[in-house]
Amino acid sequence: MGTVFVLPDLATSVAPWQNLPVGYRTLQVADYRTLVDASGDFEQLVAETVALVRQLPQPVTLVGHGFGAFLALTVATTQFGRLDRLVLVAPAYQTGSYRTKLTGLHLKGAGRFKTTALDKAVTLALYRTAAHRDLTNQLMHVQCRVDIFCGEQDRAHRQAATDLYHRLLEGHLTTVPQTGATLNEATLRAVGELLR
């Protein structure tokens, strides 16, 4: 059987991932509300996610988008041989200052976070504790196949995805045409076709 475990981005809706076609595997979308405590500590989130991944029926495919892609990559560096595949959408392997990551995020009203995984305060705290991290030296520990998706019109993520592709042992880069920084139907379709 196996499991596809999705780690969605914190600033986008969780709903599009609920219908991801995964073939004969079981689909499970991460509920950040149960994984993150009120302080929004990134290390605690990583520990909870690792514990959950170890309990899932093998083989496990991790799918991450945006912040979830960074979290999935962090988890993959510690799970030697336990992951079958890693699928990253708009990934990063380095986080800079949290202020640059939050451009526009702090301006959104609290009502905009009703469809996302967490509320605004915890999301901002989580970004803050995940700032200034670099996985460059840990990428050699990722021992599974890594499929990287980025948008053709998304320059920032495309550059990070290309850099990540060159640093991985078994990385595969797919550029989705007519796609920018936001998650859209074309990206979900491309990920779904890969997982079927």
The whole-model pTM stands at 0.89
CA distances from 69 to 8, 107, 161, 172 (A): 8, 23, 11, 15
pLDDT of amino acid 12: 78
State residue 109's pLDDT score: 53
How high is the pLDDT of residue 9? 86
CB 64 within 8 A of CB 20: no
In the block, tokens 């076709």 appear at 193
d(CA 157, CA 146): 16
Q: What is the pLDDT of residue 3?
A: 94
d(CA 172, CA 131) in angstroms, rounded, equals 26
Q: Distance between CA atoms of 61 and 47, rounded to whole angstroms?
A: 18
Q: Which CATH superfamily is domain 7-195 in?
A: Alpha/Beta hydrolase fold, catalytic domain (3.40.50.1820)
> What is the Cα–Cα distance from 53 to 16, expressed in whole angstroms?
22
Instruction: Please check whether residue 117 is in contact with residue 145, taking contact to mean a CB–CB distance below 8 angstroms.
Output: no
CA dist 2 → 49, 55, 127, 192 (Å): 17, 12, 31, 16
Mean pLDDT by 10 residues, the chain (196 residues): 90 85 92 83 92 93 92 92 91 71 51 63 82 88 91 82 88 81 82 90
Q: Where are the domains of the chain?
A: 7-195
> What's the pLDDT score for residue 115?
58
User: Which pLDDT belongs to residue 101?
Assistant: 53
Paired residues of 147 in beta bridges: 87, 172
Q: What are phi and psi of 188, to 5 degrees?
A: -60, -40
